[in-house]
Structure 1
Amino acid sequence: MTTPLSWLPLPSPPGRAEDEPASESDDQALDPVELAALHRGRDAGEAAAGWVRERASRQEDERHALALEHAAAGIERASHQEVFPGGDGQLAEELRYSLAADVLLGAAHTATLPDLAPGERMPLVAVCALAAAMPSCVHGDLPRGLTLLADGLDAATAAGHAAITATGSTG
């Protein structure tokens, strides 16, 4: 059975290379509710990563921009490729590092902080923490857990956008 969401790419299941394309049988092996939750998580992650990339684009220090770009890529990966039924629910070390709360400090050895508008720091920590938690949903009720985390990710992203609006900053 093909669902309206089945044409979208899914995370790679265990044992298959990340660059190997998903087959139609992979989509069909998933419950439609799980499939919808996986797509919901991926969409929320992409939106959050886009918001973080906007923060990266306005950094004068390229090292801070790169740290935020790594966080954005980590959000996308943690909310998509790292979430699959049957997975171990663990983040790779480089993902844990890129999604750590010290993303607020920016690049090490700069003696400056990233340029963030008032009110953007907490949403930044929240999107990183929520994305980092997404892979662990495979150990429980994946649709419920992933949907709740995706909702939180959307709320944190919206709060970040609202911080810009409230301060009158651009970005």
Structure 2
Amino acid sequence: MAELAALHRAADAGEAAAAWVRELADRQGPGEHGRLLERVAEAITQASSREIIPGSNGLLAEELRYTLAADVVLGASHTTGTLPELHPGERMPLIAVCALATAFPSCVLGDLNRELEVLSPELEAATAAGRAAAEMPTG
């Protein structure tokens, strides 16, 4: 029962984080940055739910690891020559959200319930920090 509750909390935290990243994607418009952030949102959802497999080797699929790499804050700058439009203070929470999501599947190698009970609120806090950064006045 506790394991199921921990898995649900992780999935809920991942969904909230993915929703925030989708908002970042929407802000980018239809270009490459937006498409990349949409993929990141989907990877967060997967890593915080379907990829947490009790009894598995705890490894995140290579494609998801690549998608959630810290260079996500650079967006598609290698092809566009520009950075994604992020408000001051959004880059660090974006990195934190991706790093935390990446860590979720490995929780099956330790004390799954305890680790998810620690990581899920941290993912929620990183998401809240990202949302708050967008609301801060600039200038």
The TM-score, its normalising length taken from structure 1, stands at 0.78
Secondary structure at 2:39 match in 1: helix
Bigger radius of gyration: 1
**1:104 aligned residue (73, 98, 104):** 73
Q: Please identify which structure carries the higher helix content.
A: 2
Hey, what's the Cα distance between the residues in 2 that align with 1:167 and 1:143? 39
Hey, what's the Cα distance between the residues in 2 that align with 1:164 and 1:109? 26
Q: Who is 2:120 aligned against?
A: 150
Q: Who is 2:48 aligned against?
A: 79
Unpaired runs of 5+ in structure 1?
1-31
Does 1:159 find its partner at 2:134? Answer: no
Superposition RMSD on alpha carbons, in Å?
A: 1.0
Identity %: 62
- Paired residue type of 1:81: R
Taking the TM superposition and a 5 Å limit, the aligned residue runs for 1:1-171 are: 32-60=1-29, 62-107=31-76, 108-167=78-137
Unpaired runs of 5+ in structure 2?
none
Hey, what's the Cα distance between the residues in 1 that align with 2:20 and 2:99? 15
Secondary structure at 1:52 match in 2: helix
Q: Which 4+ runs in 1 deviate beyond 4 A?
A: none
Hey, what's the Cα distance between the residues in 1 that align with 2:9 and 2:29? 33
Secondary structure at 2:66 match in 1: helix
Aligned residues: 137
- Larger deviation, residues 129-138 vs 104-113: 104-113
